[in-house]
Structure formats: structure tokens, C-alpha cells
Amino acid sequence: MSISRLCVTVFILAALVPAALAQGPTLAATPPMGWNSWNHFAGRVNDADVRAAADALVSTGMRDAGYIYVNIDDTWEGQRDAQGVIHTNDKFPDMKALADYVHSKGLKLGIYSGPGPKTCAGYEASYGHEVQDANTYAGWGIDYLKYDLCSFTQIMRQQAPHDQQKQLELMKAAYEKMHQALLATGRPIVFSLCQYGWDDVWTWGPDVGGNLWRTTGDINDTYQRMADIGFGQLGLAKYAGPGHWNDPDMLEVGNGGMTSDEYRTHMSLWAILAAPLLAGNDLASMTPDTLAILTNKEVIAVDQDPLGKQGDRAFAVGLTEIWTRPLSGGAVAAGLFNRDQTEHPVTLHLRDVGFSGHAKLRDLWRHEDVTAANGSYTVTVPAHGVVMLKITP
């Protein structure tokens, strides 16, 4: 059998195999954790930056805390050769060697493309070359693909002007095409859909092979934008679970635009939301406070809880909100959030979160046990801050 016919045969067989079986039942069994280059480096990122990020994940203890993906965002792409194979640009002289280096650190490497002709930054994307690109990524040793809609919107409008349903079908087909191409490689590659939450992607993301999907537009390093995105996830919990996660975008912790209380709110809310934890800061220049927030093992354990149930809002009174998440073993995580610009007392009634009798309370940021009195716990929450509890029967 010729190589080309063999590739076609493998592709067809893979298309007939359920995604969970083909890529393994444990792929993204918990929300992916790692680092992405965009928030800090944007289009400046290069090979040396990625190697330094891998080194820092190890030396700071972030790898051991669970951050294992080192994800290159846009601007790595060069040109295609006469056979249509994508090559890297001068910033990334040898992607296979880079992947080998990242893997040698006990980490995984992620990359970026999109279903349109061009990426968001105007570089070569995967339109018409999905199978080639998937094979190239697998050959390099890529473990994660972020697939950003961008220029494919032009194709949607051209092929289905004024027909939103047809445009949706085109978009779903574009993501499914890359999903099948990834499956056919035989390499487990996490598939991250980036299309900004359009058309209720959480209702169809798993059907096109998504392990995670963006639920919003881009985050930025301000409290207002972070809060709008995070608290705006209300009602999406039922769409998440092992292997498929709602993604409210990357972490901004440590980039300098928020206070420590605001970053703790960011980290706590993302953990309750079972969100991917993809750090977006300069790992080489972290303050001890930033590192402590990112590596809080008790908060990370909530995000990575094997039950895989996303949390949701339980109560809201004025600018204070309580969000809860069911955890394995009958425990519950509770975030007591204060969205006001002045501190406020917040009271958690145990009966309101499913505990009729005594329960053990653990403050996950103070790393100490606290005590409920008469079935409730009252605590002063700082401005734009959070008190995060684990409640155990």
C-alpha cells in the first residue's frame, strides 16, 4: 500500500472512532494548566522566551503544582513550501528541537493556528491545509492546539451572506475538520476552540472535538474586565465536565494591572469555574506574592477536583456574591466575593450550601481552619476581594 493511501485509510478509520476512545479518556480529564505567551509577550515571543518559560515553570515549582503546558500563541508561523507544508519563521528556528527541550523538562508544548487563511496577527493559518498541519504538529511533538477563528469569519460571510445558521454550520465544520485531522495523527493533542463564545459554543463544542472552548472575548489585565468575564459565566456549569471545559480565557495574575486581592479573586473564581489555568505573566520576573497566588495548592485542588463539576453562583446580595462548586467526597468549595470598592461582611449559611449539621471549614488563602457559629460563618471580605472556603462534612 502506498504511503498516501495508508494515510487516507488511517484518516477514515480515525473518523469512525469516538473522540474519547481515539485520543484517550484522560485527555483534559481536568482543566488544562500551563502558560501561554500572548498576554505578556504578544508578537515578540521567540524560541528563547519559550525555553525560559519552561525553565521557570520548573524552577519556581509551578510544574509540580500542575502547570505543564507551555503554549506558543500567534506569530510563530513562517511560509509554506511548494508542497504546502508549514514552516516556522526566524524566531523559531527548530520547533522539533524546542518541543524536545520542553518535553525534557517534564512539560508539554502547545501551538496556535486557525481555520481561516490567516491568523489574528496576519500569519499563515490552516485553511485548506488542516491534515498537513496536524501531521506537522504531531511530527514536531505538539501536545496542545489553540485554534482561533479570526479570518475564517470572512469565509463564513462570503459563503453564507445573511444566513447565520449556515454560517454556524460552516464554523462547526471547520473545527470538526481539524479535530478529525488531529485524531488521524494518533497523537493525543488537546484541542482548544477559540471563537469568543459565539453561537453558544458550549452547547456544541464537544460535538466538534473541543476539549475546551472560549466562552468570551479576550481578557485584559483590569479588574473590571476580569470580573465581567468571570462573574458572567453564570449558568454555564452544566456544559463542563471531564474532557470538555468552559474557558473564560487566560490568567492575568502578575501582569501588574490589579491588586493582590483582585488577583486572588481572579484565581479563586477561575478555580470555582473549573476553568483552564493558563498563566499569562512573565515567569522570569514574578514577585513572591504572584508565585504564591499561582501556586496555592489548596485553590488549585479545587480547580483540578476529579469530580469535574463546574461551580455556579449560589447567592447575590448587592455587590457581594457567593459562588459554590461541588467537590469529590461530598465537599463544597465556596467563594465569598465582594465586588464593591469598600470592604463588606459576608455571611455563609451552611444549610444554604447543603450542610444541615456540623461541617469543617478551611480558609484556602489563609491556609487555616475556621469555625462556623450557629450554622453560619461571617467574615469581612476586602474590596474587590474574596474569602475562599472548602466545606467538608
Domains and CATH numbers, the chain: 3-303 (3.20.20.70), 312-392 (2.60.40.1180)
Closest CA to 246 of 74, 32, 69, 65: 32
Find the range with the poorest average confidence among 11-25, 58-72, 80-94, 188-202.
11-25
Catalytic residue among 47, 133, 148, 261: 148
Q: What is the pLDDT of residue 19?
A: 38
319 touches 343 (CB < 8 A): no
In order of 82, 306, 352, the CA distances from 297 in angstroms are 49, 15, 26
Measured CA to CA, the distance from residue 53 to residue 55 in angstroms comes to 5
In order of 70, 112, 183, 315, 344, the CA distances from 24 in angstroms are 21, 22, 10, 38, 47
Find the range with the poorest average confidence among 15-19, 148-152, 319-323, 338-342.
15-19
Establish whether 218 is a catalytic residue: yes
> Residue 241: is it exposed, middle or buried by C-beta count within 10 angstroms (0-12/13-18/19+)?
middle
Establish whether 340 is a catalytic residue: no
Torsions phi, psi for 360 (to 5 deg)? -95, 130
Q: Which residue has the cell 472575548?
A: 217
What is the identity of the amino acid at 100? D
pLDDT tens digit string along 276-292?
999 999 999 999 999 99
385 touches 264 (CB < 8 A): yes
Q: What is the pLDDT of residue 52?
A: 97
Sheet (strand 69-71) strand order: 245-247, 212-214, 190-194, 144-148, 108-113, 69-71, 33-36, 277-279
Measured CA to CA, the distance from residue 362 to residue 365 in angstroms comes to 9
The pLDDT of residue 392 is above 50: yes
296 touches 302 (CB < 8 A): no
The pLDDT of residue 264 is above 70: yes
Q: What's the mean pLDDT in 254-274?
A: 98
CA angle 99, 104, 108 (to 5 degrees): 50
* Beta strands per DSSP E along the chain: 33-36, 69-71, 77-80, 86-88, 108-113, 144-148, 190-194, 212-214, 245-247, 277-279, 312-317, 320-326, 332-338, 344-349, 360-363, 368-370, 376-381, 386-392
Contacts (Cβ under 8 Å, ≥6 apart) of 200: none
Measured CA to CA, the distance from residue 294 to residue 88 in angstroms comes to 31
Cα dihedral value 383, 31, 324, 330, nearest 10? -140
Catalytic residue among 55, 199, 218, 363: 218
33 touches 277 (CB < 8 A): yes
Q: What's the mean pLDDT in 155-178?
A: 97
- DSSP category for residue 103: H
In order of 72, 133, 153, 356, the CA distances from 114 in angstroms are 13, 11, 11, 50
Measured CA to CA, the distance from residue 259 to residue 254 in angstroms comes to 9
Q: What is the pLDDT of residue 323?
A: 98
Q: What's the mean pLDDT in 124-129?
A: 98
Report CA 279 to chain centroid distance, whole Å: 9
